[in-house]
Structure 1
Amino acid sequence: MVVTHIFQRDSSKRAESFTLGQQLRSERLAVYSDFAGAVTELRRGQQDRWHRKREDPESPAHFEARTESYRLRGVALHALFRVQLIASCPEVVDAARAAYEKASSIPQATDRQELSTNGEQARERLERFIVLASTDLR
């Protein structure tokens, strides 16, 4: 009787631990996916802002693109905070921060070549985050 009780208790603890692990994995997957999507949209919005400014810095299109880039930056920053809260290792957080910061700096480009370089570097940093985040899901 005592042996059965101990076995059932251990089995119950393993099942609970497995369930909690699966739940954490699922939450991390959602957070990491949301972050990748937010930074991708931020990158696009920052590039649009850069182009609208070069077309006509006083135009309503530039004003709208700038406003949208601020909104997207806020969404991406919120997603970064969520990554910081749920990641199990600092490398994932550092990679997320690097991707966010590079995407945020895109409008500071002085010419098309620099814009292209900044955009590519932001994409590469996001890919690095994805690689590290995928190891955190295992």
Structure 2
Amino acid sequence: MVKDDYVSTANAIPDASAADYVECFRDTLDSDLVDSSDAMRKLYALKGGALRLELAVTIRVLRSTWVAKYVFDLDSVSVERIDVLESKLRDQQHELEKLRGELKTGDAFPFIKLAVFTKHGSSILCWEPVPSGEFMSTRLDGKIKARRG
């Protein structure tokens, strides 16, 4: 979400950063609903199951009082989409842990020591047999292929 999504000329706080707005909104959401303090919030139901969150923040500077109002339309997100995202995140975390483990044990970067047994006149090298399951050579075309994806 970019700042222009929630800030307009009518509710902009001079020199406020995105972090300042987040803190302001958090304080407003954490405020007591019964308390008529400087932060108020209301939640309305819209058509199609959406919600509208209205936040109002009272700002006092010297002897002036100003109320900044913010409106957010909250659309529902299907549970399936969240489940898919959680699953993808778990997969990424699992892969990250696997790679960290490989780094610690030294298995992360498979390598082979190659030796040439002949060279054709066309500068194609013919390799000795490759003693690894990670790499493959036909010994005839001068190519070594990595099997790992």
Please state which band the TM-score falls in when normalised by the shorter chain: under 0.3
Q: Which has the larger radius of gyration?
A: 2
Task: Provide the TM-score with structure 1 as the length reference.
Answer: 0.25
Structure with the bigger RCO (C-alpha within 8 Å, sep 6+) is 1
The structure with more strand, counted as a fraction of residues: 2
